[in-house]
Amino acid sequence: MWSQSKKHIAMLAGAIALASVGFADVKVGSSFPALEGFGLEGTLPERTGRVVMVDFWATWCTPCKASFPAYSAMQKELGERGFTLVAVSVDKKPAEYAEFLKTFTPSFITVRDAKQKLVAEVKVPGMPTCYLIDRKGVLREIHGGYHGDATAKELREKVIKLLEESP
């Protein structure tokens, strides 16, 4: 009787452990998932040796709209130094996504996570959220929200700091 109970407890513990592995989120200091394996719509950039900022956004998110001009300026300024911004839209409706890009014309790369696989894997806590990845592919910073110039300035400084690190 006791051994059977122990067996059940062990099975339950195993199931919980498996479930927690399945829902593991991305943490600072770990490597960011390869963008290639999630069926993202759009052309993905070469990440090797570059400082990458992955920005999760949506057309229905007002702060995301506000962030686009500043992020465009950041890409233009720091692109040649080895900075790549990849904006991952979580929009399900392609028409809204296309219309948004027509209006805002970003200078950085945008892709669409139509099946919302990547965003679920990363477990993004809110829109917008930026993930700063260094030249070695290690996640160094998670920044939630966009609060105007203060956020733009803070992110720019962090990107420059990462760009100055040796490859």
Exposure letters 124-140 (e unless 16+ CB within 10 A, then b): beebbbbbbbbbeeebb
Which residues are within 8 A (CB) of 152 and not within 5 positions of it... i.e. 6 or more apart?
67, 70, 71, 73, 74
> Smallest distance from the beta carbon of 60 to another protein, in angstroms?
4
Q: How many residues interact with another protein (rule CB under 8 A)?
A: 22
Between 92 and 136, name the residue whose CB sits nearer to another protein.
92
Site for another protein in 54-93 (CB under 8 A): 56, 58, 60-64, 90-93
Query: Could you say whether residue 94 binds another protein (CB under 8 A)?
Result: no
Query: Is 111 near another protein (CB under 8 A)?
Result: no
The overall longest dimension of the chain from CA atoms, in Å, is 70
For position 131 contacting another protein by CB under 8 A, the verdict is no
Peptide bond into 128 cis (omega under 30): yes
Rule CB under 8 A: say whether 114 interacts with another protein: no
Local structure of residue 31 (DSSP, 8 states):
B
For another protein, the closer of residues 87 and 162 by Cβ is 87
CA distance 11 to 5: 10
Where do contacts with another protein occur on this chain (CB under 8 A)? 56, 58, 60-64, 90-93, 116, 119-120, 124-128, 145-147
